[in-house]
Structures are given as C-alpha cells and as structure tokens.
Structure 1
Amino acid sequence: MNCRLQPRQPPRSYRSLTARALSLSLALLTACTDFAAPADSGATVDTMTTVDAAVVGKFGTAETSSLEVAASQDGIGPTDQLSAKDTSDCPGGAGCVCAANKDCQSGFCIDTPNGKACAAKCVNQCAAGFNCVLVSDSSGDSTNICVPAIGKLCNPCTASKECAAVGLANSLCIDEGPLGGFCGLQCTGKTDCPADYDCKPVTTLEGVTANQCARLPAGGTETYGVCPCSPLAVSQALNTACAIAATDGSGKVVGNCTGVRKCTAAGLSACSAPPTSKEICDGIDNDCDGKVDNGACDDGNPCTQDACDPAATEPSKCSHILGNGPCDADGSACTEADNCSSGKCVAGKLKQCDDGNPCSADGCDPKTGCVSTPDNGAPCDDENLCTLGDKCFAGKCQAGLAKDCVSSDTCVVAKCSLTDGKCKFTNKQEGLSCDDGTSCTKDDVCSTGACVGKVFSCADGNPCTDDSCDGVLGCVFKLNNSPCSDGDACTIGDACKASLCASGVAKPCDDGNPCTVDACNKTTGDCAATPQNSPCSDGNACTVGDACKLGACAAGLVKDCSDNNLCTADLCNASNGDCANLANAATCTDNDPCSVGDSCQAGACKAIAAKNCSDGEPCTADNCDANTGACASKLIAGCGGNCSSATGCEDSNPCTDNKCLGGKCAFVPNSLPCDDKNLCSQGDLCADGGCAGGAAKNCDDNNPCTADSCDKASGVCAQQAKIGPCTDNNACSLVDLCSGGKCAPGNAKNCDDSNPCTGDSCQPDSGDCAQLPQVGPCDDGNACSIGDACTGGKCAGGGDKDCNDGNPCTGDGCANGSCTHAAIASNCNDSNLCTAGDACAKGICAAGPAKSCDDGNLCTADACNPATGVCANSNTSDPCSDGNACTANDKCTVGSCGPGLGKDCDDKDACTADNCDPPTGNCGHAPIPGCGGNCLSAKDCNDKNECTTGFVPRGQMQFSRQFCVV
C-alpha cells in the first residue's frame, strides 16, 4: 500500500517526544489511514479570506508541544467522519507531498512544519495539533480543511507577511532585537499558546505592538527563548538578520556588527557577523561603529582634512586637503581661538581674564592661564547701598562716604535704607502744625507725611463763572462763555453771556417727509412726526395719483405704454413720463415653413436663412416643400461611383490602377516607383495604395555638439547647435560643454597649492599640476610680523610689529596683527594728594582709598584739596536735628545744630498746665488743682457747705449728702 509524507529526521529540539506522542506518530505512519486523533475540547475561530472559520483542536496532548506533534505527524488527519475519497492513497490524498492545489484531491496544498502537503477535509474536528477551518477554493466554493494549529511558529523571518498561514493570517514577525526576527502566533491568552510559549505583547519588525505566542526563555535575563528549526525551515534555509555589539578599547559599545542566523540541520546557527578590526581605507565599517573608514587616513595634522577613497588606483588611498578649523598653535594658555590657515595652525586672540573680583587686577600666565593680583584704588561696591565712592584696598572693597538724604517736605524725615540704598522718608507726627504755603487752606497740619490744610470752597453756584482760588488773593470768580441750559429743551446752543445763560436757536425737527407734521416737546426736547393724508409725488413720472399713506408716499397707477407689437419693448421714462417703443431681438415666426432662425429685426419679424435640406450626398438633388417645410432628396443619374468603363474611374493616385468592375469603379494598389514628397528619403515605392518612403538621407557631420537633420522640402542637411558634455582634448579643463555648436572648455583644473611662494600651472597633455618656487612678498601666517618674503618656495617671517603704548599699566603684545595692551598689576600715581596707595586697575591708574576729612559734625561740609591734600571743614545751613522732639525745623547755624520752633501744646484749657516731652515730642496737659473742679486731695474740695463732705474719685471733685445734727 502507498503511504503519505514521511517526516524527515527532525533536529534535536524536535526529538523530545513523550512515549504517548511517539506511539501516536507510529500508529499514524504504519496504518496510513485517516490519522484520527482525540479532539481538543477547546475551540477558537480564525478568518480565512472572507469566510468565517470554525476551529476545533489546538496543540496535541498536554505532555507534547505543538511543534513536536506537528513535526512527528506526517498527515494532516481528519476525524473518522472523512469520506473514502479523502483517505485514498498517494499521490493526492490527505498528507501526501504536493507542490500546488491541483496536486491534491481536497484542492488545497498547504505549508506544514515538514513541508508542503495535501490538506484533509473535515466536518468539525481534526487530529490533535490541527484546526478545522472554513476556506474558499479558486471557484469561490467554501469547504472545511485541517491546518496546523501552530502555523509557522518560530520560523526565522524578515517581515510579518512571511508568518501568515492558512487560518492564521494575523501571525506576525516578532522583533527580538539583535537575535533577529521570528514568527509568532496570534493569541489572546496563554491557553492559546503551546507549551514552552506564552502570549505576550510584542513589537513586530514593522514597529506594530500586538499579542503573540513567543518562545519562553530557559532562564536568566533573556526576553525570548531560542527557537527550534522545523524541517520546513531547514529545507528552505530560512534566515533572519542579527547583530553583535561592537566595543572600543574601553569596553564602551560603539555600534553593531550585522550578520545572518540560518536554520540548518544542526539547528539555528549563531550570528554570522564578522569580528571587529581597526578601521582602514577600504570602504568597509571594520570596527562596526556605524561609520565607514572613519579615522583611517588621520595624518595627525589638525589643519588638514583627511579623506579616504577606497576606489583610488594610487598606492595611497588617503588624501590630505588643507582646511580651516580650530587648533592649538603656540601651546600658550593665554591665547584662544587658534585657527588653521594654509595648512598651519595660527595663534588666536589673547584670552580675556576676569575672576569676577573688582578688587583684583587680572592677567595671564602662558603656562597656567589667568592670574589675579590686588587692584588697590579701583572703584568697587562694598554692598552697603548707603555709601558712595567705595574703593579697593588689599583685594577687598572699602566703604566710601555716607549717602546724604535730605527731605524737601517739612512733614517728612529722610534717612538712607540699607536694604535698597534709597532715601526713605518717614512721616512726622500726625497733627503737627505746619504751613502748606497757600492762602486757599486753613488749619494746616502734618497728615501722612504731607502738610495738609482745610480747603476754602469758592463755588458760587453760577455756571457762567469759573470759580478758583489764588494762593495769594483767595477766591476769584471769572466770567466765561461756557455752554449752559436756559430751561427750554427745544433750544440748542445755549451759552453764557455777561454772567447769564442766553438761549440758543430752535432745535430742527423737520424730517424731510411731506407725509408727516413735525413738532418739538419743550419739556423733553424730543421731536415727534405725526402722519398726515395729502397728495404727494413718489418721484416716478410713470405713476399717477400718488398719495400719503401711513406717513409715506404711496405710488399711484402705472401709465400704459403698450403698442401691441411683439418686436418692440414698451417703456416709460420715469423722469418725464414719456412712452418709448424700442425694437428688440425677440424670437418670432414669419409663417414660412422653409425659413429658419426667425427673429425680430428693426421692429419686424424676419427670417435669417432658408431651411437647409442638404443630406450630404453629392449624388442627390435636395429641396424644401413650401407648404409643409419637409425636405426631399432625388438621386442624380451617373453620380456616386457608377461607371461603364475605366476611363470614368480616375482617383488621381499613381499607386492604384483604375478599373470598372460590375458597373462600379475599383482602385487596385500597385508597387510602382513614386514620390512621397520627402526629399530626405530615397527609392520610394508604392505599397498598399500609398507611397512609402525609402531609406533616410545620411546627414551626420561627426560633430557631437550639433543635432543633425534633413529638410523634407529641400532635401538639404542641417546642423543645429545643442548642449551637453563633450571633450576639448585638454586635460587641464574640467566638465567641457557644447556651446554654439562647438566644444567649449570647462573650468580650469585647480592647481593652487595655497602657497603664495610657488607659481602654479597645469600640463594640458597629462593634466598634472606643477609648482615652481618664486620670489616676492608673502604672509607667514603671523600677523604680528612685518616684511615677510618668499625664499626657496616658502614664506619667511620679517621683524616684529612695534606695539609699545607708553602706558605703565598695560603689558604690550600682538595678536592676529593687532596690538594688545593687557592690564597689569602695578603701583602708580593718579596725581591726587587726597588719595593714597594708587594702583593700576584694568589698564589705568586707579585712585587708592580717599583721605578721610570727616570731623564728625553734621553741620560742616568736609572736603580735601587734591593739590595740597589739606582737609577743609566749612559750616553749612543744612536742616538737622537737635535731639529734642519738641522743636521743629532745626537748622545748622555757625557749625552747630540750632533748635527750631517749639511745639505748640496749648489745649486752650485754662485749668491745665501744658508741656512737651523732649524725648518723644508728646504734649502733656496736667490739671491745676483747685481750678475748674480739679483736685489732688479732698482738702482741695470745699464747697463752703457744712452739709456735704468732699472726696476725690479719679481726680475730679464730687460731693455726697450729709445730714446736720443740731
């Protein structure tokens, strides 16, 4: 008997079958019957084309993985419900080897882990490890077949489309990073996956996230396990891209070396990525850092651009082109922005040294860089905002003179604030008497720092006077011409005149409507328009009987201008009411059936043309019936190809023979010589009734810069200039181009070696550059040398540039051709005897600390004479404080602070003794005993009444009733 597809010996990963799985495979292979197996109790639904799939069974027994079951079963077995035809022998039966659907009795040749095999038809169940799915054949009919439940699980892949299988269209290619890509299996949970697999969210090679069955790792930190290779994957040598990390000398990962992993008989191969090596100029990324030939041609010169050309034929594939860029020219820590020029590193500008300390002079040491020394006398800030003219000494900022704060307001005391250095103004005691300097106020007192008085009211209640107060004269009442109101709302433009309000003009209420009566309300000033009924005109002369209606002019009847002529437009002139009947171009009829295009012309209906009855046949006579307008055609004898001999059949074509056959003209093609009217063709002959052109005339002038052509009318050759590349046979011109019909040389080859001391030229035959030494001035790249000259093909520097500025506070130098004068630290003299310890600061001689001339007296102005250094203390008349709060407006007098006016503490009470407290300035009012009922003890209380006894409650005299005993 014939047996179905036998499985090839699987790799070791496929040989871990349990005894039960082996028994099942042997039974299937020996019997070669229907491959029946118990169905899985679970059921899932797949999609095949547009037909819903009914799926029964999953991955085999619990002891055996799906890949092992699929690899050990050669058939794709149906259940015991299969027909006799489905279990027939090979070829064509279920499980038999196939190449296409036509090779199978079921009509389906599908992929299995062992290769292509014929699918078995099923009703609702398949052998373990297979699913029963509903599919459509080529004719569109639907049927159920058994397909592997695992699809192409774990196959190496390069795209998700390679993982799609019958009934498993949503299986995708999982991106396992440097390990490669491997087919997953669509799933919603772990139960959808075989043993050793888990359903997890993965990322595909296309970057899509989806749930797929993926191989579990054996342990450790790996994300995925190693996929086994199925016999199908081995036979097809399936592979996937992989990568191995590349590291530098320190172990840092710099890139990836790429390779391939392939399924072989021994299993999945290791990654074929090549080992890393030092980069050389060969067009290959030898060290796998993602850059090709990087650093392969480095000549160690920072002023050359090193390039690699692996395709170069010269022994050295490297080139070194002079370039521009930063470098280190002099090894000095005091220059920066050194730059390449003509292949040499040129020193840049001097470094700007600033340590941020205003009391240090900053300089630069070529070995160590920036240095600083104390900058005595330099201006600075001691961070005390209430001092001025702070100066540096011994590297620190010393305080200057105290800031002077003076108040211009008698009710405010001025003092400098250490917080912001601003003069702060504190209000004097509330209610303190003052003078605001104006006659328009009275009872002036200090209030919140301002001298405030009670303002006099100068309002006289007359809108025709401008009321004001003069600080000297008092109230002033000035007549005005201001707008006012006379009390009548129906007048406008009322205005003041001679202190009285004069009425203006009447308010206009005319609304311009002849159909209303207009009036004004004197109380409100509102205009009112009352509708009236009266004749009117609507402005249109073509209406008659116009009349007012509801406050508007209503049009009357329209004038009749009709002349009952269809070919005129009847109009009325709205300005004068005259009628006009103008000719139009309307469509009409002239009652003639053999005319067409009737229309109005000059006020009458006329036809444009006679009706066209031509039938397009030259051999008929055509006419129109004048009664009905119908067209009729009559044949013309002897016309339309009728003939009695060939002489009446001339078509004027030399390539046809004229003949009369059966009473009709016939024109038979011939092959005689002819002329196609094209003088650029030769040997023309008749063909198929027409003249066919012969060979084309040769007009090639062998000039690549002309487009050659021939004039068909004259047969003359013409050459037209064209554009495009060419060669002028001069190796020293590049990219030659056609111009004006000739090859014009391109740009000259650049032989400039950037050396001003050589004469550069090019050899036309070979294109080689030549550089010959020459003499003359040049630039050695050092802008601080002068008189540079060429010697032996090189530039030799001249003498140094003179940069002495005669300033003892600067160190003179040269950078980039410009003289530099860097500040240095040194003692100096600022020619001012009122300063001491002068020192250089930022390139100038800064004054040292100022001589102190402060005598501690606020009533003297302290100053120093710069020429002699002698102090002077002159008296001032500045405001001051005598330390007594009971005096105000104290003022300096003859070098001391004199008291101002005494505070007024009079409470206008004759029974109090008024006084002021000097420390606080508070007024006191002590009661005078015995005055006005005031007392200190009962003895001060005697009302001369023996029936009362005096006592003192809280210092006030009171009396209680006492009975007299007689």
Structure 2
Amino acid sequence: MSSGGGGQGGSGGAGCAVACDDGDYCNGVEACVDGQCVAGSSPCDDGISCTVDMCDENQDSCTHTPSNALCDNGINCDGTETCDAVLDCQSGQAPSCNDNVSCTNDFCDLTTDACAHVPSDSLCSDGLLCNGVESCDATAGCQMGTPVVCTDAFGCTMDSCSEAAGGCVHTPNSALCNDNLFCNGVETCSPSQGCVAGAPPSCNDNVACTTDSCDNGLAACVHTTNDSYCDDGIFCNGEETCSATQNCVTTGPVTCPSDGIGCTVDACDEITLGCTYTPNASLCSGGEFCSAVLDCIAAPPCSTDAQCQDGDLCNGVETCEGEISGVPNSGICTAGTAVVCDDGVACTLDSCDPGTGTCSILEIDAFCENGLACDGVATCDSAQGCIAGTPMNCADGFGCTIDQCFEPGFCSSFPSNAQCDDGNFCNGAETCSTTLGCQPGAGSPCNDDGIACTVESCDDQLGCIHTPDNDLCPCGQTCDPQSGCGNFCQIATCQGKVYACGDCVDNDGDCHIDSADSQCLGPCDNTENSFFGGIPGQNNSPCKSDCYFDQDTGAGNDDCYWSHKCDPLEVAPNYPPEGSQCSYNPNANIPGYGGSCAQAFQTQSAGCGDYCGPLTPNGCDCFGCCAIPGAPTTVWLGSENPSGTGSCTLANVANPAMCKPCTQVPACLNTCDTCEICIGKPTLPPECTVQICENGEQVCGQPGQDPCAAGYFCVTGCCQQVPS
C-alpha cells in the first residue's frame, strides 16, 4: 500500500488545509488545486474496450481480463468475435458452410443466420450420353444415371455405346470364335452372321523321307523324319539320315581314328562294323620289330614276365608290360622298382641282399658324438636316430641365476634381475644375487614433483602419479599440475554482456569461481549462490517458457516452446512465480507453438536443439527442469519465494517449497550418463576413469584439465560455445 504525501499541502501542491492523498491506490492520486483537494483518476483503465479492468488495493496493482462477450455482435454468419488484451476486439472468421457435397451451392443465409445447401443437377452432368442422365441428391451428392443397353444376338461382337458415334456400336471379335483347334482352320466373326468356320491348313512339305501330319496340341504342322527310309545297309560309306529340309543326306565314308602307333595299318572293316589296327614291321627301320602297343622296338617283344627277369631282387622284379590278349609278343620288358634300404637315420649303415631283396640295419654310436663334454654321451637308435646324452647338471639352487656349462666341462652362474621382478612398480626394483638369490627392492621410486598443490602417489600400472588438489590452493584458485596454484579463469560473455557466472570473480565467497561453481549454469547465469538465473526478465513471462539457459524473456525466439500449465506437477500449493494462474491444464494453449501439450512434450524443433541443446547442463531439459543429486524429484531451477527471489540452491534441493517439483520434457532432455559430470555433482563417480563429452567437445572442470578456449564456457564438464 502506498504511503501518504508529506506536509499539509499533500501530494502535488500547497495551500490545502489537510493532505489530499488518502493513501488509496485504486482511486488514483488526489491533488491540491487552487486550495482545493481534487480526486484522482483510476490507474487501471488500459483503454481497451473489451477488457475488465480491476484494481487490487492490497497489492497496489491492476489486472486486465479480456472478455469475448463484450465483442459479440450477435451475428453467426460473420464468425465469433474475440477480445485481444492489446489490440481490442478482433473480428471473427466466417463459418465454413461446406457440406462436402460437390453438387450443392453452399452459403450462409443472412435471413436465417444459418448455412443453406441448394442441390443443382447441372453440377453433376458429365456431358456423356452413354452413362445416362446424372442428378444431384442434397445429402448423397451426385447420383449416376441409367447406362444405355447395346446387347445384340451375336456372342462374338463387342457391344458398346460410343459417345463419338452417338449410339450403340457392335465390333466383331474373331478371338471369341476360336475353338482352339489349329487343324480345322481359323474361325472369324461376322457382324451379321456371328462365328464363321475356317479352312484346314495344308501340311505337305514335299520331303519324301518325312511323315506329314497336323497336331492340334502344338497348333502346327508336324514333319517327322524317318532315317530308315534313307539307310543303304553299307557301314563303311558312312551313316545316312533324313533331313527335314534336305531329304536323305550322308555323313561320308568312315574315317578310322589313329591309334598313335606308326607301324600299324588303320582300316574300316565291314565284317566287324568297326576299325582294325594291324602291325606291319616293314613300316619300321631295319631290324626293328612292330608292337601294336609300343610301336617300333629294338628287341623282340615279350609275352611273359619270366622272359624279362635278371635274378637280382635288389634292383626290383622285371615284368612284361603291354601284352594284348591273343596277340603274341605284344609287350616289352620293364624294369622293376629297386628296393630302398635307406631308413633316413643318419647314424645307421643300411644294405640289401640280392638273393632275398631284404634290408639290414646296423646302429653306429660313433656317428652321434659331437665332442662336447657338457652335452653328455650320445647313442644311436635305429628308430629315433641319435639320442642326446644327459647334459652336465650346473644348477646352483637359485631360480634367478642363469647356470651354464662351458667346455671342456665346468659350470658357471650369471644373475638375472628380471627373474626376481614381482611386477609391482611401487615397491622398487628387485635384484638377483649369485650367493643369496632374489633380493627385495628399495621401496617406492616416486619423488616430489615440486608442485605444492599436487599429491604424490604410486600406481603399479600407471607409475608415479601427481594428482592436482584444488583444496591445497588459496580460496578461488585452482591447481595446474605443471605450474601450481593460480587463477586460470577466462571471462566469458553472454550475448556481449558479462554476468556473475562469467566474470572470473568468486561472487558468493565459496572459493569456487564461475564454471567451477556447481550452481553456475553458464555465462548467461547472473548468480553463483543459487540455480536461479538472476538476469532481469529471464523466463518471467507468466506460464510460458522457452530456453531457460540464455537471457531471454520467454518470447520463444530460440524456437523452444513449453507452458507450466502442461506440467501435471503444477498443482496446489501453487508455487511462485506462476501461482494458481498456471495450474495444470493438459489442454492448455502454448502461445506461438501451434500444437498441444502432448505434442510439445514429445516434439521440439531442430532449431531448439541446435541453439539451446549445448547450453543445457547434463541432467536438465532445456526449460530448466533438472535431476539434481539429493532431490527426491526433478526440480525447476527457476523456483522463487513469494518475494520473487530465486530459492532453489544445492543446500535445499530436497525441500519442495524451495525447489519445486517439475516434469522433464523428453523432447529436449540432456540426460546425465554414468561417466559424465552432472548438474550439482562436479566430480565423476569413482568407477569412471574417462570423462565423456558428446560430439567431440573438450572436457573441462576437473583438476589438471585445460580451461576452455576464448568464446567457450564449461557446462557440466564440457566446453560449449557461449551464445552470441
């Protein structure tokens, strides 16, 4: 409530006996004019004829509620008028009288103030004679006429009505007369007689050796050749056959294929009805013999194996090969396969007995000796060959020494530290003693790296580790593993302006600056001590919401659309700043979106994802509804207390009065996976060894990691480009 003016003059002047301002907001501000108090005018008249202007004395504020009833002119045919809180009364849209019946004339009748539908047969006429006369039915639309009937008495004519001919046409179709019998000719159709029989085809081909016939199954004449008609009974002059086009033809005299033997005479024989190959020695050189199998040979051919054998079984058993049954001396002597007595063993002497053709094997140990005392005495075995002797034993009892024998037969031991290595880097390097065996290492090999803010440790797999610890640095500084403590922050702007979460200052005194502060949501965030953006006008348009993480007012210019009315968690108590005006309504209209709550819940534009997606922390949707560790439900970062101050912080995420519950919109949700930095949780789970950023972004925010480049800001562990 406003306070009164000072002095007797009251508000706005002097000379009045008492103060004129009565302190009431809703009746305006009273003034003193010429010594008289003059009443003020209402502060709530917005000049719009169709709004109901109300004044709230308790809040010193005005409301302007649009009323469509104040715009209604009572005429249905010009549509329903509506009230716009800014533009005053808006004309309605005339109702559609289209009854979806194509042949009716549809219009809104001002006399009855209702739609009329007048049928017109002319709108149905297709201009065609043969399909009859069309008509219009007011409800069923165009109705077809009764077609002209043109059927005649002949089944083979195609009867139809022709628009071009102006009446019936009877077209003959001979295909309808076909009885599918080729041999009785082709039937035809006469427009005046119907089907007329055809004339049978002639099948005579004038070839004497063929039998001519007609085949209905093949629908053709058949000319079957008869080879027996042409056969003259003589074999050696070739085979006679019947050609369907040339009459009788012959293949010519029989040609006997060569047997490959130069001294045989090849000829055709009418008695055997085949070829014969007769040996003729006169075709060989002087003194040679003719074999029907081997051609010309120097020695007489053989008939039995005994004629060829020499009595020595070690060179094999000779045989007579190539004999032809009934042809004496048609073969030739062939050497046998020699007996092989080599057993493949180098230390044996192998020999063959000519009388029996059997082998004997003699083992010679001397063939196995290498002259080395360290190898022991070798022996010969006819099955295994040389068998090594038992080497001299030089073992000294220590597993880490390499024990060797040296000629002419003495032992020596050499230490091998590798045999003592237990695989643990952090307990030092083990060594080998030739007198004591394995000896333990000297302890951890890791030394101080000289950086005060790193913690030294040893890992058997990774070696010496120097882990940066920001808690060892002064307040607000971070630890770099190469240069130590310092302020490595880079100022980040949001659309050309610098806010609290991009100014490189510890604004809330918690020793965490900008992106290192878990409550900073990006360079467009103007407070480090809560999740509330803190930028004047940020997303404060009642009920409607767009991208929470830039500095917009909710106008939707980032192509993200949502309404708190669509959230089923918007129930009593009515959370500020929306209050009861934004209570849950699944059928709510989202200004500018053009779709339902259910559609916005599942679908946001590609532009929304491209612009707002990179600004959205892991665990949040683009409208500021986030899953924060410690909160029993997802909470809205823009939660306020009744005074309009942001109320949701890390300290009170479990209090629904401070961090109000909300439903995340999956259409633009950035979930937080296992090995990602999450909102409100600046470190990785202990089981994660690799920090994940999608789309190849640079990781950031952890000790020892490089800061983001100029123009980029660390959002839940990943470098994102600041909005321009």
Question: TM-score, normalised on structure 2?
Answer: 0.29
Identify the structure with the greater strand proportion.
Answer: 1
For normalisation by structure 1, the TM-score amounts to 0.23
Rg: which structure is higher? Answer: 1
